[in-house]
Amino acid sequence: MARALRHLDVVRDFGSRTTPSGVPRAARPDGVSAAGAYLIKFVAVLRLTYQIRLLTYAAAQRGSHLFVLVPTNCRISPRLQTFLEEQTSFVSLDRLDRAID
């Protein structure tokens, strides 16, 4: 597990651990089940965010999986697409049956 975590971008670069006002940064999934954690994003374009990197790291630490749910017509940034391809053991993207109007 530690060997796999070394290759995660989230392990090497979290950036600032506090907000400009000094509040610790954190992220929570929208839901958790026995299968893993769920992050629901109802957006037109999804990028690789601190929240996604941090929740992927947390899933890897727990030996779990992060499911990112997006609308059918959501575009994925190239950086996020690369991240998803590299971290298939810990995170996956699932499309909902609904589109953004």
pLDDT digits (tens, 9 = 90+) for 2-40: 444 444 444 444 556 666 776 667 788 999 999 899 999
Tokens of 90: 């810990």
The mean pLDDT of 67-85, rounded to a whole number, is: 95
How much is the mean pLDDT over the chain? 82
What percent of the chain lies above the pLDDT cut of 70? 74
Domain ranges of the chain: 2-11+28-95
More confident residue, 94 or 3: 94
pTM for this model (two decimals): 0.75
CA of 13: how far to CAs of 3, 16, 32, 35, 74, in Å? 16, 9, 25, 27, 26
